[in-house]
Amino acid sequence: MSDLHRSAISARLAKLPQLPTSYPMEGEEDGDGENDSIGELPNIRPPGSSFAKPKQRQKKTPNPDYAPISAVGYFKQAVEVSVPDVNLNFRVYYTPPRTTDGTVMVCHHGAGYSGLSFACFAKEVVRLTNGECGVLALDARRHGKTTSTTSDEDLSVEVLSKDLIGLVCTIFPDPLSSPTFLLVGHSMGGSVIVRTCPGLLEAKYKVTGVVVLDVVEGSALEALPHMHNLLNSRPDGFDSPEEAIEWHVSTHTIRNPISARISVPSLIVPAESKDELAPAYKWRIPLRSTAPYWENWFLGLSKNFLAARTARLLVLAGTDRLDKELMIGQMQGKFQMNVVPDTGHMLHEDNPDRLADILTEFWRRNERVIIGIKKVGEL
């Protein structure tokens, strides 16, 4: 969370006086203007602002340099998975491993984002492992194209973890014949996957490791009081998907234009406003609406990460200081830590190739461990 923490501190200073059945992906746009290149899907059974807007706001012409890019070629399949136990129809993007006994990296995005944030990363993982590793990325509740059959307001980490366990058990109902899992979570998603790991192990699934991307409990909790000031810098909406993509790239929220052109369209929806001067698109999930859950997401993250009964990896965007628990754990060799320089908080989008290198090496070290040698992070 290093980049987010630095941004929050800057905002504070500014206030001082100065799957089941699946199918290949097809390239076509959805009716709501998003371009994740998914046609109609089968049903599979078992971030607002305080900116004052000018009265005569001129609409921006879409910049073709930031036109959305199809997700075709980044994931092999897109499916809708119905999980009645949690009343959700999940949107899932999936490239299966080449063999049934391979490994699947299960990727959970951060708050406000979607499974498509892992698109470029997924393609590189499959290339590096020659298909031995697959990648499954989901849209969490209230995010992306996952829909609910009832109220889905609760975004607590306990509910999100239950959602993920339900999804995995629905797609892979038999633990004995399922692939091995490497759980990967960015920011909020990092907390979800470390909470999910014990449940999957208890259900007899094979989990080779947990990977947390750019979040440290101490830094995250310190930044929370300043988050509302940070969110004030975000626009209420955009005139087009191109404008949304350009804003993410120009503000360095996402530093990789290719990844932004794939993932950002899933973050917005048509505003359906009768005001001709209002933006045509609004955030799918305004981050300010998730404020009641911020502390819940990160409190206890370090303890749960270190307690995971599998290999552990922490990947940061910068040399963020570790909190006390992680510092002690690192000195005791309880987890591996890597830093990806020249990236921001969205490090898996900013430099997907380097992250794929790190996770592939981590997977090979821990999945193919020699008998008698402990995995990284094992006591």
Q: Active-site residue numbers?
A: 187, 214, 345
**Given phi > 0 = left and psi -120 to 50 = alpha, else beta, which region is 203?**
alpha
Separation of alpha carbons 345 and 318, rounded Å: 9
Other residues' Cβ atoms within 10 Å of the Cβ of residue 58 = 8
Task: Based on DSSP, count helices (H) and strands (E) in the chain, helices before strands.
Answer: 13, 13
Separation of alpha carbons 60 and 255, rounded Å: 22
Length of the chain: 379
Q: Which residues contact 88 (CB under 8 A, 6 or more apart)?
A: 82, 141, 146, 147, 148, 149, 152, 163, 166
For residue 106, give both structure tokens.
């299960």
* Residue 177 to residues 126, 180, 256, Cα–Cα distance (Å): 21, 9, 37
Separation of alpha carbons 202 and 350, rounded Å: 35
Other residues' Cβ atoms within 10 Å of the Cβ of residue 306 = 18
